[in-house]
Chains A and B, each alone.
Chain A
Amino acid sequence: MTPSSAPLLRTEGVVRRYRSGASEVTALAGVDLEIAAGEIAVVAGPSGSGKSTLLHLLGALDAADAGRVLFEGADLGALAERQRTLLRRRRLGFVFQAFHLVPVLSALENVEYPLLLDGVGRAERRRRAAEMLDAVGLAARLGHRPDRLSGGERQRVAIARALVHRPAAVLADEPTGNLDSRTAGAVLDLLADLNRSLGTTFLIATHDAALIARTPRRIVLADGRIVADSGRAA
């Protein structure tokens, strides 16, 4: 899908510091970034470069020490905790390296979960979760619990969970980090298909060279700063 020109996600001079023992570590040192709606982009860089921190800030999971993070024009730093929770529940999706599925729930129930949070009725939840699992190729695994699924299947369930409530953006932190190259390739194909078919914005933090190579926009971080951005250059 062709990205629109209005930025869905935007950072303005974002700084994030952490305390590590007696010293202070600057994870992000003034990051300016715009991600348009419908875009698919990767955030690359070595470990400790600030990729995950940037995703946490964009996903309203954490707050910046300085600068602003805007989602659909709203300053996340000005939102109350409950508003940030509702934003994550309704407008964002998350995919993690370690999948983080609820082990006692089936694939279908895991995907239903975000809809459950929002009070969607049981029949509607089931229908939408089953449709999403079908879209990620797991129609035959609805009743399987995570421990009965392969790594690739678990990540597909996690992707379905991130998309079932039709969020504006999905933030994926090393989504192929725990997968072999063949499975990782399939997951990448899936993300690209979903981006095209649903128009969902994907921002993916990764060091997976194959994933970086295949993604049209590449943002490279080093020491908490953007050192290259193919989107900006374009």
Chain B
Amino acid sequence: MRFAWLALRNLARNRRRTATTLAVVAAGTLALVLTAGFVAYSFDGLAEAMIHGGLGHLEVAPAAAVEARGAAALDRPLEHALAGWEGLRERLEALPHVAAVGANLQVMGMAQGPQGASVSFVGVGAEPDRARRMGFEKKLRAGELLPETAPREGEEAALVALGLAGALGVAPGDIVTLLATDAGGSLNALDVRVAGLVTTGVQELDSRYLELHLAAAQRLVGAGLASNLLVGLDETEATGEALAAVRAAVAGEQPPLAVVPWTERALFYEQVRNLYRGIFWFLGTIVFLLVVLATSNTLAMTVMERMRELGTLRAIGTGRGQLAAMILAEALWLGLLGSLAGCLLGVAAIAGINRAGVKMPPPPGAVDPIDLRLAYVPEAFAGALLLMLAVLAVAALAPVARAVRLSIVDALGHV
């Protein structure tokens, strides 16, 4: 600490070079906090999109169905469907943080349009009122959403994904015939009116997806059945706590039930997360190397230019450790001041980018453009600051070694 003030004063010797070095450190810090902000916002956005796109926070499904296809599978075999689940739903909805519990019944089969086109579909029978309470979002592109009340027989309606609607050649108001086998293996047919056209946000799924009211799906494949119960929470952060509570609530149910958190079902989320983490560390490594190279050159110049002065300081009793501390302190000041400037720039840049409302092209496989938005990640700001201090300490190693090894006599005679 004794030399910290002297090190700070030394930065004023060559103001232009100090300013350039600070700019390099600030730019490195800025790159890290912006990237971290983008990654964090993307993670949060993707997680919420998946949860509120129909995954829910938790899934309660027959353990046999989960074992049969794995926790990550989105479809649950009809032969393991739940029956008599209404009482369980009531108990689950009474738990803390649970916003609603919606029953889903998955159906698969063939859909036939009015012109005779037949396309295989995957559908889900859902409860629109529960879906609304769970915050599920439907991306309606034409027509209207399903009514919340169960349809009367002969008045069933469906939301058809854009790709499937295109293949069937249907628009809102048209009738589509759905063919599916029920739990007993018999083939059933159901005529449904196209209420609206939607997108799931995923091109591949859009080519096959449709949604019915739970009651309509039950008429097609089995009265009273549900493939699973989806649990929506009031906040995603409560997932862990709610998971434990729901598992406790379903313990002892027969047939046994499994509770699967959204993180285990959203394989795509984990893949994206791993990809972004890889990109972030790759970028971090590049920034680290660039800043080390740029600043080590500056610090080496600093030592070279002050050889006689360093020799004088050694001559009048400055120890090698004290000299090393002084040069290291100069480097750390550069790291501290530069990274603080980078953090301030980062705060301003994040605010500016978020306010600008910039749109980015849809990610691969997605349908809609996405907003370019960045999150403030306090850990990233602190981490970038600490990283820059470490970078400057590493950059100072060679100059420090040179300074402490110098011969006093040679240094005093240095020109």
A-side residues, CB < 8 A to B, are 56, 59, 61-62, 81-82, 85-86, 88-90, 93-94, 96, 98, 100, 102-105, 113-114, 116-119, 161-162
CB of B114, distance to nearest CB on chain A (Å): 86
Q: What is the minimal beta-carbon distance from B414 to any residue of chain A, in angstroms? A: 11
Which chain A residues border B9 with CB–CB below 8 Å? 104-105
Residues in B whose Cβ lies below 8 Å from that of A104: 6, 9-10, 12-13
Q: A117, B315: Cβ atoms under 8 Å?
A: no
Q: A11 to B309, alpha carbons, bound, how many Å?
A: 28
Q: How large is the interface on B (under 10, 10 to 19, 20 to 34, 35 or more residues)?
A: 20 to 34
- Known pairs A102-B309, A105-B6; A117 contacts B318 (CB<8 A): yes
Provided the pairs A103-B13, A104-B9, A105-B6 are in contact, do residues A96 and B319 lie with their beta carbons within 8 angstroms? no
Evaluate whether A90 and B308 lie within 8 angstroms (CB atoms) in the complex, with A56-B409, A104-B9 already known: no
Q: Cβ of A94 and Cβ of B2 under 8 Å apart? A: no
Sorted nearest first, the 7 A-B pairs with minimum C-beta distance are: A89-B317, A100-B312, A104-B9, A61-B408, A88-B317, A62-B409, A85-B319
Summed over the interface, the residue pairs from A and B with CB atoms below 8 Å come to a total of 62
Separation in Å of the A52 CB from the closest CB of chain B? Answer: 8
Task: Decide: A113 near B409, CB < 8 A? Known: A98-B308, A105-B9.
Answer: no
B177 at interface, CB cutoff 8 A: no
Determine chain B's interface SS by DSSP, over half rule. Answer: helix
A161: chain B residues at CB < 8 Å are 316
The 9 sampled A-B contact pairs (Cβ below 8 Å) are A62-B408, A81-B320, A82-B319, A85-B319, A96-B312, A96-B412, A104-B13, A105-B6, A117-B322
A residues near B412, Cβ cutoff 8 Å: 61, 96, 100
**Contact residues of B with A, CB < 8 Å?**
2, 6, 9-10, 12-13, 308-309, 312-320, 322, 407-409, 412
- Distance between B292 CB and nearest chain A CB, rounded to angstroms: 26
Determine if A114 and B317 form an interchain contact, defined as CB atoms under 8 angstroms apart: yes
Q: A86 touches which one: B309, B317, B407, B408 (CB < 8 A)?
A: B317
In the complex with contacts A61-B408, A61-B409, A100-B309, A94-B316 CB distance below 8 A: yes
